Amino acid sequence: QVRLVESGGGAVQPGKSLRLSCVASGFTFSSNGMHWVRQAPGKGLEWVAVIWYDGSNKYYADSVKGRFTISRDNSKNTLYLQMNSLRVEDTAMYYCARVYGYSYGYFDYWGQGTLVTVSS
């Protein structure tokens, strides 16, 4: 069965960095596009970034462009989100989600999320 497990969240001060990981299992990781989606406490879902199945294309929400970097290691079945220059408004639960397909599309599987708290 498909499983996505996020890790790496925690409490950090504004301006600091954090790297999130998402380990995938139960499917051929290198065949699917992957996204990061976040959800601030009590708020709705916000798309963060997408990476194509082979890492050839990456796109970001304007709110994180230039600060966050999405990457993947298909040999390790792992998706990453490097978050630099963190802001208070980046506080959220971060989910990785699998795309049905090799690039972008709808999300057929989601992880349980990892919580990032940015506070001084």
Partner 1 sequence: DIQMTQSPSTLSASVGDRVTITCRASQNINIWLAWYQQKPGKGPKLLIYKASTLERGVPTRFSGSGSGTEFTLTISSLQPDDIATYYCQQYNSYSATFGQGTKVEIK
Distance, first Cα to last Cα, the chain: 40
Strands 114-118 and 10-12: parallel
Of the residues 8, 21, 23, 47, which one makes contact with partner 1 according to CB under 8 A: 47
Of the residues 63, 84, 110, 115, which one makes contact with partner 1 according to CB under 8 A: 110
CB of 77 to partner 1, least distance (A): 18
| Distance of alpha carbon 75 from the chain centroid | 18
61 binds partner 1, rule: CB under 8 A: yes
Rg over alpha carbons for the chain, rounded to the nearest Å, is 13
Q: Contact positions toward partner 1, by CB under 8 A? A: 35, 37, 44-47, 50, 57, 59, 61-62, 95, 97, 100, 103-113
